[in-house]
Chain A
Amino acid sequence: MQKSDIVLTQLIRSSAVRAIAKPRSKPASVFEFPPISQPIAALVAAVVLMPLVYLVIRAVGAGSESLDYLLRARTVGIITNSLLLTVAVTFSAALIGVPFAWLTTRAKMRFRRVWLILGLLPMVIPSYLGAVTLIAVFGPRGELQSLLEPLGVTRLPSIYGFVGAWLSVTLFTYPYVMLPVRAALMNLDPALEESAYSLGLSRWHVFRRVILPQLRPALAAGMLLAALYALSDFGAVTMMRYNVFTRAIYLQYTSSFDRSRAAVLALVLIVITLGILAIERRVALNMRNYRAGTGTQRAYRPVTLRRMKIPAYVFMGTVVTIGVIVPLVMMVSWLIRGLNANIVAGDLAAPLVNTVSASSAAALTVGLLSIPFAILAVRSTSHFNHGLVKVAYLGSVLPGLVVALALVFFATRYAHSWYQTFPILIVGYAIRFLPFSIGATRSAFTQINPRYEDAARCLGLNSWQVTWRITTPLARAGILAGMALVFLSVMKELPTTLLLAPTGFNTFATRIWSAYDAGSLARIGAPALILVAVSALSLYFILHHETYKNPRWHRNGKRGLLRGQR
């Protein structure tokens, strides 16, 4: 079993799914959590909720005119487009993610680990960046067209619209399906499949009737994430000019003097997001999915691909080429162009400082705020406290653009001295990424035996001291992993930064955005590559650190995802 995969899956899954999970059963401990946790959590929950509530008030207050707007054909078109993209991305991400997961866990092939890492790499490319590279290559007058020019191709069919949006969002979200499915595949008991074979089922039937049903919870979790990403993606759909909610909201936001429509559209988007969560809940609940046999489960024997070998390599090669190689090659070529034109250095310093300071500030804030939430989630049984935790999760299931817009509304109305300041940018990031951190901190807390805390209490520490001297240090690895995840996510975050950053505060993300807007791609190369490199490092840190630094796993001597498998 691969712990690292499971941890990452937990991290990812927790960000969305825990929001609707039931409260845990009563813990065995008699330990009382520090009473301060509750007011802190309540305050943070209030900060999360207030802007959203104001957004709703604002949208409803817009009155009948906005209702007319909603019912108009174009708005219905926006809703249709959004749902179409979401459904298409969800299923195509599964169609790529599941086979990729199966091939990298079960199939006998050369360089399996390399394929695995290549398959996960699109995750470190933000979708808006991926979209720029896809446009540059596959656009009507892109690189591919100039390669085909001698053959008389003067213009490729347009990539803009549904096709481009679907392609870019799918390519950069399928790893979110691949990861949990991969973890589930490695956990399956081969005995079930062997029984099925012995009863005469073909390989395909075994997959469909035995493996697939067991993968359902992992698949549901991954597809939920893909759906939420598709619905909330802002950069890629805007660059691909596909008119979905996020793009329409942003257009209204930047072009209109009246923000009622942006508020109304955002409200509908919130409703749809909650609807998707409800669907996932129906699919994922009430599933029994455990192993019934006794004894230790045997390891899988890798499957030989035989005549499926070439199609498998073609499949993986195509995905990796479009999702990793093409974007990286384009970024490097832009970097070279930028170096030749001498525009790289002057463009880098300020965004670098800004990106790192904003990401660190957000990671630190969020990492610390996650502790009281994790304590409440793990050690408290009260419904009120679990309600607080659920509220905190709202920020990440809702699209970043909506959260940022809500904060803009709220700040212009009630805190205009905060509008466009660094602190409110950090508040925006915190609302958005707090759940990532809570998820990690929380899973670390669940691994701490409450008896340590009980023992510390017996030896005379008060609940506050127990938390700071026993619980938190034991959970350090998880807390740090959560902070790393937040750091990574903040670096890539585009819409929150666009709407909330102070004037002139360029991060790598907004620099890429404005360079695209101004059509100067040579300026994108350096920030893009740095962004990708740091993202990759953070991912490595999460996968690696978790496995080695957590004492429990350390004792078990499990090896990390990136350090070789059994």
Chain B
Amino acid sequence: MRFVRYTALSLLLALLLTLAFSASAQEDESSGSGSRASSNESSGSGSRASSGESSDFSFSGEGTLVVYSGRGEELIGPILEQFEEETGIEVEVRYGGTAELAAVILEEGDNSPADVFIAQDAGALGALAKAGVLATLPEDIVMQVPEAFRSPDDVWVGLSGRARVLVYNPELVSEDELPASILDLTAPEWKGRVGWAPTNGSLQANVTAMRVLLGDEATEAWLRGMIENDAQVFPSNTPIVQAVLNGEIEVGLVNHYYLFRFLAEDPDAPGALYFFPGGDPGSLVNVAGAGILNVSDDAELGQQLIRFLLSETGQQYFADETFEYPLVGDDIAIVDGLIPLEDIEAPDIDLTDLDDLQGTLDLLDESGALG
């Protein structure tokens, strides 16, 4: 009998669940921007005092900010928490892939609960800008960031810089043997010695930059050359660096900061960074950036978050914790062993032009780089 009663009760619960689901689905359909992700207002941290010890940041406010973050929780979570503590603004974050969340924002359209979008790559911000879903940022934010690292329409700004590099193992190959251009990696002497990750977003952004700088044909020729040259495929950046340090491969195409994560654990690991000289497309400097959505009901809150991330506290956080380049403030120390941002001979490119990811995916697919 107890079994029966439990079963009946649970069935009822399941039924209610189903009903609630379809009801909320209908409600959303009819009431437009009615519902947003539930906010934890009961947690009552609304008026927490600012701790402000080491901070140069002096804003405060109340309310809830919904952030879609294409950057991982372990990378950006701590600084968002610090923002909550210092301002009393509650931040609700939905984490995901950068492209994934950009697609979600586009799918959600006017219903999107998001206020701020933080992306790992300027291309996604460019795509959202093109779709017209980003709002213009106030001048005081925009003017802080160097022109190369922000939107020409003032709808997004870079928060931190990330350079594409060739990571190499100095025990296996010396710096003067390394090629002058990323294009030279298709030369016969590099056969089987290079690692890359064609399904990775950063590599894809780099390929997009190559398309912008060199054209589709030259880029496709390079992609085919890499495949013919037996470039070793990895699922992401981290295992590439690992393989270089292990001596499994000699060089790999990655973002600059991955090596420092390994060096933080083992300072003697045999890895070094090489920046292609002379404005080569292989030395693309991309940004992780942020923009505020048009549909945000309180743009001021979002602007406070962006100001915070651009403040000394925020920029120092990126330099220390994620080993990226700070974009604002001259006196922020970068990780030991990394050359300054100004010394990179980066290609001259408008980062907003990196928005045609679909074209890059198609090119990768057609050239056979995706398998």
Contacts and interface: CB of A to CB of B under 8 A. Distances in A.
A43 B12 CA distance: 13
A242 B371 contact: yes
A141 interface: yes
B73 A413 contact: no
B22 interface: yes
Contacts, number: 151
Most chain B beta-carbon neighbours within 10 Å: one of A46, A73, A252, A416: A416
B4 interface: yes
A368 B10 contact: yes
Interface stretch (B90-98, B138-146, B151-159, B218-226): B90-98
B199 A251 contact: yes
Contact of B102 (A243, A257, A409, A516): A257
Contacts of B242: 519
A286 interface: no
Contact of A257 (B19, B103, B365): B103
Interface residues on A, range: 35 or more
B108 A256 contact: no
Contacts of A503: 73, 93-96
A416 B19 contact: no
A44 B124 contact: no
Contacts of B239: 518-519
A530 interface: no
Given A257-B102, A365-B14, A516-B235, A473 B3 contact: yes
Interface in A137-162: 140-141, 155, 160-161
Interface in B33-76: 35-38, 73
Interface residues of B, number: 65
B268 to A, nearest CB: 18
Contacts of B108: 412-413, 416
Interface string A472-509: 11001000000000000000000000000001100000
A73 B366 CA distance: 8
Contact of B100 (A253, A369, A416, A473): A253
Contacts of B99: 254-257
Given A43-B19, A46-B22, A254-B97, A241 B124 contact: no
Interface stretch (B24-32, B161-169, B307-315, B341-349): B24-32
Contacts of A519: 234-236, 238-239, 242-243
Most chain A beta-carbon neighbours within 10 Å: one of B18, B113, B201: B18
B127 A415 contact: no
Contacts of B94: 420, 503
Nearest to A464: B8
A47 B107 contact: no
Interface majority SS (helix, strand, loop, mixed), chain A: helix
B176 to A, nearest CB: 26
Contact of B107 (A255, A259, A364): A259
Contact of A43 (B18, B124, B235): B18
A419 B7 CA distance: 28
Given A257-B124, A519-B242, A423 B17 contact: yes
A371 interface: yes
Nearest to B124: A257
A259 B95 contact: no
A247 interface: yes
Contacts of A364: 10, 14
Contacts of A43: 15, 18-19, 22
A517 B235 contact: yes
A258 B358 contact: yes
A385 B236 CA distance: 49
A468 B107 contact: no
Interface in A118-132: none
26 contacts: A74-B365, A241-B233, A241-B370, A241-B371, A255-B201, A255-B204, A257-B102, A261-B358, A368-B10, A371-B7, A410-B25, A413-B107, A414-B29, A415-B21, A415-B24, A415-B25, A416-B113, A417-B24, A417-B36, A420-B94, A468-B8, A472-B7, A473-B3, A503-B93, A504-B95, A517-B236
Interface of A: 40, 43-44, 46-47, 50, 73-74, 140-141, 155, 160-161, 239, 241-243, 247, 251-259, 261, 364-365, 368-369, 371, 409-410, 412-420, 423-424, 427, 468-469, 472-473, 476, 503-504, 516-520
